[in-house]
Amino acid sequence: MADTLEQAFDAERFRSEGHQLIDMISDYLAGATAAQPGDRVMPWKAPEAQLAYWQDDFEQPVLQSALSLFEDVMANSVQIHQKRFMGHQTTPTLPVTILSSAVAALLNQGMGVYEMGMVGNTLEKILTEDLARLLGFGGEASGFITSGGSLGNLTALLAARAHSTEVWHKGNPENRSLAVLVSEEAHYCVDRAARIMGMGEEGVIKVPVNDAFQMRTDLLEEYLEKAKADGKQIICVIGCAGTTSTGSYDNLAEIARFSQRHGIWFHVDGAHGAPAAWSPKYRHLVSGIEQADSVVVDYHKMMMTPSLSTALLFKRSGDAYKTFSQRAQYLWAEQESEEWYNGGKRSFECTKAMSALNVYAIYRTHGRDVFRQNIERLYGLATELAAILRTDEAFELAYEPACNIVCFRLRAADNPEQLNQAIRRLVVEDGRFYIVQTILKSGFFLRVTLMNPFTTATELHELLQHIQEKAAVVQAAG
């Protein structure tokens, strides 16, 4: 056993495998960016086949080198860096973050207390305050990085509750009904967070959207009065800066005015779309975000950082400390003092990955302008796709896209939903493109998220041709 353990830590073995792995990753990146029309982005296997494959692998003898395992995993996974990947809101990570991720894995720093997260906590402060300034917050703003938008939104709602009630310290002895106002197009994690907090289904009051899938802010007063009449206390109103299904931006300035009128916490889920602030061309989309009490921004969507890495920003830094105020004498001496360097005082997490290093590495090696270029290229590409769809009578564009998310479908005289569902299945199984789907007011639509800056109009035209070819197969099968 001792020999096995010593071999597992052997530096020279690691050096040899590491060099070979970098060559393998470099070949993967080069191949993805230069992919040919017949190359596959999705090596599709049915779930049962995938499970059988890896169950068989699990029972094999111990490997002499992990390289064949890594090669196998890469060959069986979706190629996010391939320019025909147009599926989910998952970014092709910048190569420098592959290296920084390795350093973070090596150091394996905890972030709860300063002694274990000296560099990580410091980088989080620098990065989140820089992002806060970009969004227009004042000098009092601060934040931290957490593991994903779902946890970030949950933490923001907990902060909103702490701002309006004493539930964190005293519970809810009067059994008051707490609730949030949110767009019906908001990400499901907001609904889930409210339920986790004990608000239940009735505590998530969903405001209808207009034809552009933006929250109807003209209904906010009505919905607030109805909630009050039903005995509910609204603790937060949530605006979306880039909804998941359509990428729509709510009117944040109008939501801010409503929130201020009624003294309600205003939170913005900007996981996908808040980075539009990097671009002078698209910054107007987040107008009003600077008036929010809290904002969530995913570095791992539009800022080319590995998952999971999410900034949670607060207009007033002190609000972050109220969220999880409790004693932990084995970690810090005083709970009440605001110590940015002890991450556990503000975050749900104690031990977490030092994902701030990935973001910081991008800033230091490529500068801020790389974010602007990425936003403008991808949002512009979506505008180009929408223009193509508008001029092609074979397709129906669901709405005018505000960002890099485009929903459309192939027209059909009978049952367009069934036809487009079948098309999507065949596209995925074929594997040359990866697109997803969504349900909008008028039914089933194909959904494209343009995340790869190497995607061009050529791939867009190829996709639409590919869809029509699959439609012919479906129609021929009857």
For residue 309, pLDDT beyond 60: yes
In the chain, the percentage of residues whose pLDDT exceeds 90 is 79
The pLDDT score that the predictor gives to residue 337 is 62
Q: Which among 308, 312, 295, 313 is positioned nearest to 358, based on CA atoms?
A: 308
The β-bridge relationship of strands 294-298 and 265-269 is parallel
Residue 147, classed as helix, strand or coil, is coil
At residue 1, does pLDDT exceed 70? Answer: no
pLDDT in tens, 121-165: 999 999 999 999 999 999 999 999 999 989 999 999 999 999 888
Burial code of 297-331, b = ≥16 C-beta within 10 A, e = fewer?
bbbbbbbbbbbbbbbbbbbbbebbbbbbeeeeeeb
Predicted confidence (pLDDT) per residue in 374-389, tens digit? 999 999 999 999 999 9
Give yes or no for residue 356 having a pLDDT over 90.
yes
Which two structure tokens, joined as six digits, stand for 46? 């049915």
329 has a pLDDT exceeding 50: no
Check residues 344 and 410 and name the one with the higher pLDDT: 410
Chain segment 188-235, per-residue pLDDT in tens: 898 899 899 889 889 999 999 999 999 999 999 999 999 999 999 999
Domains of the chain: 104-366 (3.40.640.10), 369-477 (3.90.1150.10)
The share of the chain scoring above pLDDT 70, in percent, equals 96
Residue 259 CB-half CA count within 13 A? 26
Q: pLDDT band at 339, cuts 50/70/90?
A: confident
Query: Do residues 92 and 451 touch, judged by C-beta distance below 8 A?
Result: yes
Please say if the pLDDT value at position 332 is more than 60: no
pLDDT tens for residues 57-103?
Answer: 999 999 999 999 999 999 999 999 999 999 999 999 999 999 999 99
For residues 237 and 34, the model is more confident at: 237
How many H-runs (helices) and E-runs (strands) does the chain carry?
17, 11
Look up residue 38 and give its two tokens.
């017949």
Helical packing angle, 252-262 and 220-229, nearest 10°: 40
**DSSP alpha helices (H): ranges in 45-187?**
47-58, 67-75, 95-107, 118-135, 149-164, 167-170
Tell me what pLDDT residue 115 has: 85
Q: Are 349 and 120 in contact (CB under 8 A)?
A: no
What's the rounded mean pLDDT across residues 261-284? Answer: 98
DSSP assignment string, 209-238: B-TTS-B-GGGHHHHHHHHHHTTEEEEEEE
Q: What is the mean pLDDT of residues 432-450?
A: 95
pLDDT at 448 over 80: yes
Distance of CA 452 to the CA centre of its chain: 15
Give pLDDT, residue 334. 53
Per-residue pLDDT band for 398 (boundaries 50, 70, 90) equals very high
Under the banding of pLDDT at 50, 70 and 90, the label for residue 420 is very high
